[in-house]
Amino acid sequence: MEFKASQIAELLQGEVVGDENTVVSGVSKIEEGQPQTIAFLANPKYEHYIYETKASIVLVNNTFEPSDKISATLIKVEDAYQAVASLLQMYDEMRPKPRGIEEPSFISKSAKLGEKIYIGAFAYIGSNVSIGNNVSIYPQVYIGDNVKIADNVTIYPGVKVYRDCKLGENVVIHAGSVIGADGFGFAPSNHKDYKKVPQIGNVVLEDNVEIGANTCIDRATMGSTIIRHGVKLDNLIQVAHNSEIGSNTVMAAQTGVAGSTKIGKDCMFGGQVGISGHLSVADGVKLAAQTGVASSIRKENEILQGTPAFNISDFRKSYVHFRKLHILANKIDELEKELKNLKS
């Protein structure tokens, strides 16, 4: 489909600078821009691309002032990054989506199916499953008994949702993820082996949660492992049993959350963050990549780094010394030798 600059500006509540009749039919990165595509500039360090891009339209912030001639038509918006996110979402929603039930697939006779759903080939839908309207379940998905799936949920190929779990509205689960596998619960015995503790709880994903590919969220021993509304989890994340992640928290890939940990709302975790079990993390906490948390974080909106984690400003000051430890060690050796000579 083709759109004029004037139409896009109206959708995004922006202002056209240039030819409002410029037409585009696709999107591109600004450094790889092609004619009849729309690109965006949000980060100032990429500004040099705007003077050479071949994209026909470029979204920019209201504050942008060019320092050279630009051939593209500009659309000025309050926030270019948010605007392109909205534009891509609209573009994605316009793409045709599959509907109907493909064969072969298995659907229990006791399952309740909503309207306008899609169930792909080789999917399995267990007993007493409830599926809402506009739900897409792609091929080779397993949905266990008694699972509740609300409206507008998308479950991509190869996902496994174990029994009794609950998925809220607009949940998206990407390929290969496992929701509701047993938590890692084993009780040591006098025989130096381990007795499995049955995991009889479930997992609850509230509305607008998105789970990346190959992420695992374990069911609770009792009660629920809860992912609150608006949480976004990247690929390859592990959330252990009985944990709770507060609303609108985001986590990057390879983060691990141990059991019974309570994480507040609006937190941001970088990649490979590790959090010990039975801890609490306050609202708004930010953890830099590879941070290790061994005790509760009670101060809201704190930014931490390192293992064990401490304030990021202190970490950066300390790092100046960390990297010079070998030099300091050599100086100490020299001083000890001089002191020994003086004593002798």
End-to-end CA distance of the chain: 89
CA angle 257, 260, 261 (to 5 degrees): 50
Query: Do the Cβ atoms of 233 and 214 come closer than 8 Å?
Result: no
CA 161 distance to own-chain centroid: 19
Q: Which of 48, 174, 191, 241 is catalytic?
A: 241
Q: Is 241 tagged catalytic?
A: yes
Query: Do the Cβ atoms of 37 and 59 come closer than 8 Å?
Result: no
Lay out the sheet containing 57-61: strands in order across.
15-17, 73-77, 57-61, 37-41, 26-27
Which residues form the catalytic set? 241
